[in-house]
Amino acid sequence: MPDWTMLKECKLFDCLSEKGKEAFLPPGIFYWLGRAKKEATINATIGSAYGPASEIGLPGDAHTVFYLPGLMQFFSELSPAEIFPYAPILGAPDFRSTWRNWILEKLKPAGRNLDALLTSPVAAPGVTGALAIVGELFLTPGESVILPDRYWENYDNVLCANVGSRITTYPFYDGEDFNIPALRSAVDESLASQGKAVVVLNFPNNPTGFSPSVATAQKIAATLEDAAVTSGKWVVAIADDAYEGYVYTDDCLQYSIFAELAGKRNVLAVKLDGVSKELLFYGARLACITFGVPESCASKKDLLAKELEEKVGAVIRASISNCNHPVQQLVRRSLESKMGLLLAERQKVIDVLRRRWEVYNREMEKADRSILHPLASNSGFFSSVDLVSAKANDVADLLMKEFKVGVVPSEAGGKHSLRIAFCSVEERDIPRLVTSVFEAAKRLSRK
Ligand SMILES: Cc1ncc(COP(=O)(O)O)c(C=O)c1O
């Protein structure tokens, strides 16, 4: 944490609130990203898809952020009425209904009729903003929120530093699968000590790139339901679906786990999804909060939804007031008239990422398991490796200085691992990326 020399010297530090005094930007991902931009020739720190334009059928060979050209057209076509007015607190009604249809479309492979269980999505500023709003709504400061021990580091800022909750973790993996017994114990403990349990599930997962199978996802949902019903309390199950749709094998869940959670007894399912990764529109800052109510409440859903909306609306009004209007209209127009085209364009990106993921895994297969242990992955933008006996920060530093390779280290909970963003590394560079990770880890491993 910085020592705030100037703020203190100018006596401004004392003007800050207690929260303001505590606030700091953790070095984490942005520190490594900043260094990689200056020092690295392979930058595997960025959680955004990049590559040569031609790889996804765009003209030229310039290195570019991958985007969907189908979205571009509407920038010049929006009318003043779609651009300049405030959006309503909950979001533009036509955007909300279009996003609801988009969700139903995405969840079709689950083969369930979810229409009766879904509330109308509420617009939020990115999945980060959605998480902050939902956190504020369901977590009293000091209460615990349950996460696996492999989680996106910004949850610390949003859910602890900002919302004031405590993160309780359980081991993510049971061998190569998701650790359901560990989740169950964490939920039972939480239900025993507070009025409800709040769980965040993030598949495809950042940082591991893991998604469960359909059977495992169904077991997760049944486990949460059983824990809730047995205790007579509620489980608020938040699906952070930031990477929805990016799956690379047929045997993992092709849709959000929200589809399995919605309808379960004593479970309030909350879906957070947005355009940042799903539509490769990171700068839009647009996501949605959607609830899936238990079957037992389906007949009262509309009235229940209205009250839930009012709660969400109150937090929004008190913080960000409302979201970016033109982006809602642009996304609405694109999804309404070009969903097929957008999906086809995005498929090109998914295919590129799948090939990178395959090459990454093929190369990692060769790595000596006494040095590093690649974590099971099948989806998303990242993969991770655990270091058997080297320190993650030291390996990342050596990688940067000597191998000119940027990755993000984590030493959280005493585990030493590296997050490798294959989404931003060209396929041809992946063998060097993997060899470098291995060589650096080997050099710093205990003999
Ligand atoms: C797991 C997870 N959730 C949420 C987000 C943030 O998404 P957004 O850019 O929409 O705020 C990220 C982005 O890195 C993420 O990895």
How far out from the chain centre does Cα 123 lie? Answer: 17
* Pairing assessment for the beta strands 144-148 and 196-201 based on DSSP bridges: parallel
Residue nearest to atom 2 of ligand 1 (CA): 242
Cut 0.95: pTM above it? yes
What is the 8-class DSSP label of residue 77?
Answer: T
C-alpha distances in Å from residue 216, one per residue of 68, 108, 246, 256, 438: 32, 18, 18, 13, 32
Pocket of ligand 1 (CB under 6 A): 47, 126-128, 152, 202, 206, 240, 242, 274, 276, 282, 287
pLDDT at 34: 92
Pocket test for ligand 1, best of 65, 152, 257 (most atoms within 8 A of CB): 152
C-alpha distances in Å from residue 17, one per residue of 14, 151, 304: 8, 29, 36
In the chain, pLDDT over 90 holds for what percent of residues?
A: 95
Residue nearest to atom 16 of ligand 1 (CA): 206
Domains of the chain by residue range: 15-68+346-444, 80-337
Tokens of 135: 């956190």
The domain made up of 15-68+346-444 has a fold known as: Aspartate Aminotransferase, domain 1 (3.90.1150)
Tokens of 440: 């650096």
Distance from the alpha carbon of residue 282 to the mean position of ligand 1, in angstroms: 9
Are 198 and 160 within 8 A, CB to CB? no
Confidence of residue 2 (pLDDT cuts 50, 70, 90): confident
33 Cβ neighbours under 8 A, 6+ residues apart: 43, 45, 46, 406, 408
In the chain, pLDDT over 70 holds for what percent of residues?
A: 100
The yes-or-no verdict on residue 139 having pLDDT over 90 is yes
Q: Mean pLDDT lowest for which of 127-141, 230-244, 409-423?
A: 409-423
Pocket test for ligand 1, best of 134, 153, 154, 167 (most atoms within 8 A of CB): 154
235 Cβ neighbours under 8 A, 6+ residues apart: 187, 191, 196, 197, 198, 199, 224, 225, 227, 228, 266, 267, 268
pLDDT at 192: 98
C-alpha distances in Å from residue 141, one per residue of 148, 166, 190, 317, 332: 20, 8, 15, 20, 36
User: Residues of 269-291 as b/e, b for ≥16 C-beta within 10 angstroms?
Assistant: bbbbbbbbbbbbbbebbbbbbbb
Q: What is the mean pLDDT of residues 251-268?
A: 97
**Ligand 1 atom closest to Cα of residue 282:** 9
Q: What is the mean pLDDT of residues 390-400?
A: 97
pLDDT at 447: 66
Distance from the alpha carbon of residue 127 to the mean position of ligand 1, in angstroms: 6
447 vs 376, more confident: 376
Q: H or E element: which one contains 272?
A: strand 267-274
**Ligand 1 atom closest to Cα of residue 240:** 3
What CATH number should be reported for the domain whose range is 80-337?
3.40.640.10
Distance from the alpha carbon of residue 366 to the mean position of ligand 1, in angstroms: 31
User: What type of residue is 126?
Assistant: G
- Which tens digits make up the pLDDT trace of 330-368? 999 999 999 999 999 999 999 999 999 999 999 999 999
Distance from the alpha carbon of residue 242 to the mean position of ligand 1, in angstroms: 5
Tell me the H-state helices in 232-321: 258-261, 275-278, 301-319
Are 283 and 246 within 8 A, CB to CB? no
- Which tens digits make up the pLDDT trace of 148-198? 999 999 999 999 999 999 999 999 999 999 999 999 999 999 999 999 999
pLDDT at 30: 85
